[in-house]
């Protein structure tokens, strides 16, 4: 009976606190209220486990950080971006950030919840991305993590598949088949569930601002999407699968560029 009461209380508390925005408002104007029932600690733990497994598999295949020059370049760009995350959420400056490169021809990159970044070598080997363009793509992915879009998608999926009671069991640590099954699905859900279009728009906007604050030319976001589309031969690459580089997307980026350009100019002067 105690466990049931605790579970019900947890459900009620989660429902009350489930809608909030994860980041501070800024130049990019992202402040949507988000559905966040799954605790961030649970998501971060699952993501760290999934990221660790990915690194082990890449090490086994000898594809992890195979090119030291690429690794140094990506980490240098990422660190400049990470130095700016406090503008959106101060707590992110204390995340256990990790940055790695996997030898893979796909035009892709991601940042898992909690700051686990992976960039595929195809971004450099095939796309020949400039530092400014890498700043745009990594900034976009960091923005997903700052907004906790993975946690948002997973919260929606957990409730849809298992219900609030199973979610409460997961949070309270109660032994329940559905809760255990849900926990096991965590890392799979992050990769399997695509970001929604609104989430992609938010990552575009915040990523552009983040890159500008780090001293990367905001115009590079447009050239990046154009190059990725050209290399995809008609079909969007995995990175753009839910949000193709359409005229609307490029128009949105161009419209925001004048707002973040002063940040870019200030960052250049501060060097």
Cα–Cα distance measured from residue 160 to residue 163, given in angstroms and rounded to the nearest whole number: 6
68-127 confidence digits (pLDDT tens):
999 999 999 999 999 999 999 999 999 999 999 999 999 999 999 999 999 999 999 999
**Per residue in 193-233, pLDDT tens?**
556 788 899 999 999 999 999 999 999 999 998 888 788 76
Q: What is the mean pLDDT of residues 152-162?
A: 74
Distance between CA atoms of residues 171 and 165, nearest Å: 10
pTM: 0.83
Residue 161 is predicted with a pLDDT of: 67
* Positive/negative CA dihedral, 60, 61, 67, 70: negative
Which residue from 17, 1, 2, 8 is spatially nearest to 155, judged by alpha carbons? 17
Buried b (16+ CB within 10 A) or exposed e, 185-224: bbbebbeebebeeebbbbbbbbbbbbbbbbbbbbbbbbbb
Query: For the chain, which residues make up each domain, given as ranges?
Result: 2-193
Q: Which residues pair with 161 in a beta bridge?
A: none
């Amino acid at each position: 009976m105690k466990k049931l009461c605790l579970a019900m209380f947890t459900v009620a508390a989660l429902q009350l606190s489930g809608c909030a925005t994860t980041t501070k408002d800024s130049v990019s104007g992202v402040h949507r209220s988000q559905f966040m029932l799954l605790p961030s600690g649970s998501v971060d733990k699952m993501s760290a486990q999934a990221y660790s497994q990915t690194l082990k598999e890449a090490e086994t295949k000898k594809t992890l950080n195979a090119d030291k020059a690429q690794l140094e370049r990506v980490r240098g760009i990422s660190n400049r971006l990470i130095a700016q995350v406090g503008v959106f959420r101060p707590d992110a400056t204390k995340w256990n950030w990790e940055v790695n490169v996997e030898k893979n021809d796909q035009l892709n990159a991601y940042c898992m919840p909690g700051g686990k970044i992976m960039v595929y070598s195809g971004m450099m080997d095939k796309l020949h991305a400039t530092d400014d363009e890498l700043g745009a793509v990594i900034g976009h992915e960091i923005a997903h993590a700052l907004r906790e879009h993975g946690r948002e998608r997973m919260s929606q999926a957990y409730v849809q598949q298992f219900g609030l009671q199973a979610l409460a069991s997961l949070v309270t640590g109660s032994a329940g088949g559905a809760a255990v099954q849900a926990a096991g699905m965590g890392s799979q859900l992050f990769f399997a569930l695509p970001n929604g279009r609104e989430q992609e728009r938010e990552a575009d906007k915040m990523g552009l601002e983040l890159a500008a604050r780090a001293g990367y030319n905001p115009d590079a976001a447009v050239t990046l999407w154009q190059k990725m589309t050209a290399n995809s031969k008609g079909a969007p690459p995995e990175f753009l699968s839910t949000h193709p580089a359409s005229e609307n997307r490029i128009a949105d980026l161009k419209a925001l560029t004048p707002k973040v350009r002063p940040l870019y100019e200030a960052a250049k002067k501060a060097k």
